A and B are shown apart, each in its own frame.
Chain A
Amino acid sequence: MSSTLLSVEDRRAARSELRRRKTIALLFVLPLLVFLFFAFVAPIASMLFRSVYQPVVSDLIPDTLDLMEDWTGADLPSSEIMNRFAIDLKRLANDRTSGRLAGEVNRALPGASSVIQSTARRLRNVDDADLAQNGAATLLQANKRWGDVDLWQSIQRTGQAYSFNQYLTALDLQQNPIDGSVEVRDGPKIYIDLYTKTLRLALVITLLTIILGYPLSYFLAGLPDRSANLLIVFVLLPFWTSLLVRTTSWIALLQTNGVVNSVLMGIGLTNEPFEMLYTEFSTVVAMTHILLPFMILPLYSVMRGIDPSYSQAAMSMGARPIQAFLKIYLPMSLPGLSAGALLVFIISVGYYITPALVGGTEGQMISNLIAFHMQQSNNWGLAAALGSILLAVILLLYWTYDRFVGAKGLSLG
């Protein structure tokens, strides 16, 4: 037998030693994994879940919705359903939760809120037995609109706890209430346009950072160590400054009587100030400035590692400088360029603070609308659906990049 093979005890000892080392390594990483779980995985999972699960209405009127399961939706629901709903609505009115039902149904059918609320107020003191008999008539007496099919259709639609309705709205589609087919929404169509605009702005910003960042990194990479270290500090210092400070300083620069306009008017180039703030232009400029270090740093790190003798060898063999650059240097810097471009693009697609501060109404991106739905219209389901679609778009882009360039072609230095 060869003496390089381990005996059984040695093999067992080696395996348990390996296991021990792996456990220790895992214990080191455990706090980070726990933090990642609570701060990253759990919120995203919660958001994805919220986009398909909205139990508000189904928790409020479960009995009515149970009876509505057999209702086709073509004509008015039966009196049994309407009586049951009247009883449920009276219960909600006395619990003071009818407002939540009104708000949810109103999202599906604007105008429903006042109908539900006023009817709820009238039902508060009606006898239960009376409602079980003539609930339908009482409803119609309280408000004529209980005779409209679309109001009942909206109640049924919002009563689905698990549904893709929010995704349909987020893609400017709707579901035909009668045959259930998906069709283009017959109301305002804003989301597809906004997604396209966001992607377009992100692309422009990425190209601008490439145009500004590549020459600078090339210059920095060619400097001797001391000067390079000093100049790279000038790139890093603004990077370490607070984001809000950088954004608001753009407000001071671009506003109507700000620095840029005062200089232009002072040297006589123009008599009236330019409207630069609260436009798409200001969003692009401010975001390019803020995201430039994300492009410069990977590029600089990769370029620093490129041996200049390759380009020199190419030129010594007769290549002109531009040819040497395009054929030798550029492909070697591509990993850093890809990393920087991907980083800038993905960050700018989801960026919120800068468009919110300097964008005004023209420079709004999808993130601003998601924030609007979270904070003001309180439609967390729709905000979650919009966020999930954004996540899917980014993942698709990264997968496409991986397919054509290869993730191994990425290098942060």
Chain B
Amino acid sequence: MVWDSHVYDLDVWAIVKGSKNKALGLEFITHATKSKPLAGMADVAYGPTRKSSAVYVDPSVVPNLPTSHIEKGIKADGIFWADFGESLGEKFNEWLLR
């Protein structure tokens, strides 16, 4: 597997404003972001987002996880795409039409 210049992104948990079960939602998020549950992300070939989860992950899969190669990659930047998504799309269309 080639890891040079890989692009990684982060997900977030969100609670909708005005939700009736806000306390339950907060409880779930607290649980889901603990070290041990996060270690389960390795089951789907994602890297856990806590360094403290590393002890719970099976050592044989660690080299294949993105978190072991973070320094070779770049983080997908939502702000860049919000700024330049449309204009770059236009440039791409221009290139396609040639």
Q: A and B from one assembly? A: yes
- Per the bound structure, the CA–CA distance linking A224 and B5 in Å amounts to 72
CB atoms of B90 and A190 under 8 A apart: yes
- Per the bound structure, the CA–CA distance linking A377 and B87 in Å amounts to 10
Closest to A189 in B: B94
CB atoms of A114 and B86 under 8 A apart: no
- Per the bound structure, the CA–CA distance linking A235 and B31 in Å amounts to 65
| Chain B residues, Cβ within 8 Å of A110 | 83-84, 86-87
CB atoms of A111 and B93 under 8 A apart: no
CB atoms of A111 and B97 under 8 A apart: no
CB atoms of A188 and B94 under 8 A apart: yes
Closest to B79 in A: A114
| Chain B residues, Cβ within 8 Å of A106 | 82-83, 86
Instruction: Select the residue from A110, A189, A194, A369 with max chain B CB neighbours within 10 A.
Output: A110
Chain A 107-126 residues near chain B, CB threshold 8 A: 107, 110-114
| Chain B residues, Cβ within 8 Å of A187 | 87, 90-91
- Chain B interface residue number, banded: 10 to 19
- Per the bound structure, the CA–CA distance linking A217 and B82 in Å amounts to 55
Chain A 360-379 residues near chain B, CB threshold 8 A: 361-362, 364, 369, 377, 379
B18 sits at the interface (CB 8 A): no
B52 to chain A, nearest CB (A): 31
CB atoms of A188 and B90 under 8 A apart: yes
- Per the bound structure, the CA–CA distance linking A190 and B95 in Å amounts to 9
CB atoms of A188 and B93 under 8 A apart: yes
CB atoms of B84 and A369 under 8 A apart: no
CB atoms of B94 and A111 under 8 A apart: no
CB atoms of B96 and A364 under 8 A apart: yes
B89 sits at the interface (CB 8 A): yes
- Per the bound structure, the CA–CA distance linking A193 and B96 in Å amounts to 11
Contact of A190 among B79, B82, B93 (CB under 8 A): B93
Chain B 71-95 residues near chain A, CB threshold 8 A: 79, 82-84, 86-87, 89-91, 93-94
Closest to B90 in A: A188
| Chain A residues, Cβ within 8 Å of B89 | 377
Residues of chain A whose beta carbon lies under 8 Å from any beta carbon of chain B: 102, 106-107, 110-114, 187-190, 193-194, 197, 361-362, 364, 369, 377, 379
Q: Can you report 8 A-B residue pairs in the complex whose CB atoms are below 8 A from each other?
A: A106-B83, A110-B84, A114-B79, A189-B94, A190-B93, A190-B94, A194-B97, A362-B96
